Structure 1
């Protein structure tokens, strides 16, 4: 297979997840996360930060089996990127006010907060440091680590500001998945789709992106090597969208995926397929 690289302007679009109780999840994503309802139709709700662009779709499934955390391949977390440090400080203030248990990590390139929704779907809310401050190793990989977040500094940065939910400029920054085999994940996401490897932690985790971003997708084997795909009747991820800059780029990706033996179908008017762990991917053109 020839080496292929995705267009540098590729981004993550929206994420659709399965939940067991729509009313409970709606309350959580509005009050705790700070998203707003854009549209609701039956058992699906589209959620937004800016009132225009969909970031998250909640789909309620009947008689859902809620899995233990980190027990199957599928969603580890989706990551909501806020535009600046004061915005992340306001998120901290709201999570404290709501009494939510929060994990956190300063990854050098970013400051990140981690929470779980009522169905154990993982959520990261983070802000990036300026790209010109990111460091790279001799192989060109982005240097990342996990240090404690300066929570006091975040609170100071948001002093006197009022929480009104996630602000204008909030986007879906990346997605992070449990997979059953990191080599197979690299074959699919790097060799086939065309993402670049940005950081590699042995056979435990890798981070990949387009255009030099620290990562658009994280992949790990923390649910166990050989972890099976999460069942369709359990909460988790249905699909995420890749935003592509033009039809030429989209057609090239579709052709590579078909040539590799994966089934590509039309969903909502866009090409759709699944990775080896049944995580759905839809290819959407940027507006």
Structure 2
């Protein structure tokens, strides 16, 4: 992800969000929750332009999934103590907090409810909502416990993207890549897809406007994201599907890169 000022961003991502730096150069930093697995890469461009919200395709938010509700309460307390402006939503399948980094990049921090409580409607869509979060209940879960770092078990639970067109997004993410539709929310101009029955690994929307332009190369924001595949056979299947569909593929670091035609970001497929 491109940011304008590394010092400013590292202060935010370490002290407010709770990441730790595991590798750093003059212009980049790799961030982790457990000190081993890279979850976020920051790339500094001092000349980066910070664009108005919902003006281009690309990142709407990336979502940090915590192991349980208590950890969400601890994260909430840390955000409050740092004076961070927050949005929030109880989505039935999860409870979520929303904020932005110093460059306007959207972040969700959330905890899932037990999968046994998730419900689907007659069309197979997960039943989701946006109701107020029980903030007092979260803080009660946290109690007096405070942590400066994200807990082990933290992962990037999903990513949500502004795209040019939902039908084109469906064709790419489901017909070619093979994700399942788990939320066809036409009334919200959004489509949620996932693998393995999750409530969504990728959210897709046209809230920046249908056929919105891509993020310019000199702007802050998402450059690429990574989809981790379970085995070589799946990597081979995805590679063949993309090649058969006419996409240009770059082989790199035991995986492949391809340009997402609807969000403008690159996608890395790795094991």
TM-score class, shorter: over 0.9
- Determine whether 1:284 maps to 2:234: no
Counterparts of 1:60-209 in structure 2, within 5 Å, are: 60-202=44-186, 204-209=189-194
Q: 2:230 aligns with which of 245, 264, 267?
A: 245
Q: How does 1:255-270 map to 2 (within 5 A)?
A: 255-270=240-255
- CA deviation string 1:176-225 (max 9, x = no partner): 00011111111111111011111112171011100100000000000011
**Contiguous gaps of at least 5 residues in structure 1:** 1-16
Two-structure CA RMSD over aligned residues (Å): 1.0
Do the aligned partners of 2:15 and 2:148 also contact (CA within 8 Å) in 1? no
Superposed structure 1 runs of 4+ greater than 6 Å apart:
none
SS of equivalent residue, structure 2 residue 16: helix
Matches of 2:13 and 2:45 in 1, distance apart?
17
* Secondary structure at 1:281 match in 2: strand
Deviations, residues 107-142 of structure 1 (Å, cap 9, x unaligned): 000000000001100000000001001011112221
Residue of structure 2 in register with 1:6 after alignment: none
Q: Equivalents in 1 of 2:44, 2:86: separation in Å?
A: 25
Structure number with greater CO (CA < 8 Å, separation at least 6) is: 1
* TM-score with structure 2 setting the length: 0.97
What SS does the corresponding residue of 1:105 show, helix, strand or coil? Answer: strand
TM-score after normalising by structure 1 = 0.92
Gaps of 5+ in 2: none
Q: Does 1:223 align with 2:208?
A: yes
3-state secondary structure, aligned to 2:223: strand
In the other structure, the counterpart of 1:4 is none
Q: Please state whether the residue corresponding to 2:150 is helix, strand or coil.
A: coil
